[in-house]
Structure 1
Amino acid sequence: MAELKSLSLFFFFFLFTLLASTAEPRLTTDFYSKSCPRFHDIVRDTISTKQITNPTTAAAVLRLFFHDCFPNGCDASILISSTAFNSAERDSPINLSLPGDGFDAVVRAKTALELACPNTVSCSDIISAATRDLLVTVGGPHYPVFLGRRDSRISKASLLADLLPLPSSPISKTIRQFESRGFSVQEMVALSGAHSIGFSHCKEFVGLVGRNSTGYNPRFAVALTKACSNYPKDPTLSVFNDINTPNKFDNMYYQNIPKGLGLLESDHGLYSDPRTRPFVDLYARDQDRFFKDFANAMQKLSLYGVQTGRRGEIRRRCDEVN
């Protein structure tokens, strides 16, 4: 009887240990309420100051968020610097044009948080919270941000091969890329509304402007050609994604596309494809619906591929593993 009791206890503790080791903690909106109670205030104050100093910060952080989360999950792997032994994600060709303001905003917030709550807040949580807060500052929708992510220890440029949509990607390919990550066509179109703010470099679209049947408004095409006339000598030349309200997050991006005022090939593709065109029309006439769908899609993307519990780490510096 004693041996049977001992055996039962052994299996009980074995089962308990197994469940404890495999159960992943859930993300919550109040994850730092005790460990870092001023988390939201510190992030908001830091990035608001940065936005005032440089109004392109919101678009830069939004793009950084997408380039981190979409390929392989929201784990701040985009922030890790390359070493002599490893080429990191941020040095992948598709990420070389990421604005430095996005990286700087996250680093500033991390520095402030390390002073207030050392070794507590992950860089991946900072990106997600800062993205939401900056969107609100430029007129975008507010949505709950779930927290408790941990940072990846791995960042390899080679892992990004063909995972991020390109401005020149055919719309069918972009749809497949989103669907492979569990996002519907409508969610893809809603997330494309991120182009409501920010800019694109001339090299990403100038080759299309002179082609026939590309969807550009003729006068707009002339203006783009003129604006980018010197881009071979100055590769930093760029044009706002939304020429009407470039610093305000709204639905003007969708209103521009049917008029031939979309900047990128991917923008025109949204209106030429029958699977995506109805959603462009919907969001062009209903900003409230766009805000609602965009917020839901952003929250869903912020939860994609996250690491929690024993997976990953809390980096002391966002640009290097511990």
Structure 2
Amino acid sequence: MRYLHLLVLLLYGCSGVPVGEPDVVPLTSEPVWSEEAFRQHLRVLGSEALGGRMTGTRGYLQAAGYVEAQWRLALLQPVTETSFKRLYPVQVRVPRRIRVQMSARDSLFFVPGLEVMPDPGTGGGTRVARQLTTLRDSSLTLSGAAVMVPDSAFHEGMAAEVAARGGEVMLVVGELWPGVRGMPEAPLPIVRIRPEAAMRLAGLSRDGLLRWMQGTKRRRLFADLVVTVEHEASPYVWGLNLLGFVAGQHPVPARELVIVCAHLDGPGQPAGVRVYDPTRSGDAAAAVIELARRFSSMAHWTDLPERTILFALWSGSTFDHAGLRAYL
């Protein structure tokens, strides 16, 4: 191919469509955009039954099967004689459960998915902290301490520093974003905690919490803070991309390739909790499914498109875009 044009669809504003088991909507064969078909795709991809469409899970495979069925109905050409699928291995570590609570009876408990969530790079195990501190603490040892940092200041190298100084756990204060990450894991649990939950834990107001995180003083907890993170490590899972194309009709521009693509996978349910992520609602993938039908139909009724169009749905977006990297 002489030229490679990469068109990544980033379509938002469609998250208001209700999810659930969709009604069966027959696909039109006309070469026009079908809002009804687009909404059907969005309902399927957003269905609770899929569990978030994380790469390597049953939900993602079900979503991929739906896409393949729709593209076959649309007479889209697969990348091989028989299949739209392209497999690649990716190494992952998936958090399965998180529990954060004080050891005293009837004391604080933080709700997974609403108040706390494991960071994608977290280590596993159970740790007990008896006091809170910050990275500005100049003590030689952080033994028995939970280190609290704002999300804006957090980076992956902090975990190794805290572990080397004897810290038990890292608490990253900010909004909760689900995800998974490839190996290796951090040397200690890293927990993302919402500001309101961090205020409850530290016994401070919002302004007081912000000022304290900029200082060096430790705060003793009224009871032990027990943090448990369980995750499942796998040598690899099979990532799955979906690729189909419409051949160009003009003898010269047909040698050029236009790629229309989006991520099919979603955040899944790390630690058993599904958190809505508006950037992976499935609207862009639904648009690619419908555009593939439209252009495939156009090719059967007209002498368009002039250029060859490759329609691609990637997996592995939470694994450093592993699906796109596998294609490139």
Which TM class, normalised by the smaller chain length?
Answer: under 0.3
TM-score (norm. length: structure 1): 0.26
TM-score (norm. length: structure 2): 0.25
The structure whose residues are more often helix, as a share, is 1
Larger radius of gyration: 2
The structure whose residues are more often strand, as a share, is 2
Higher RCO (CA < 8 A, seq sep 6+): 2
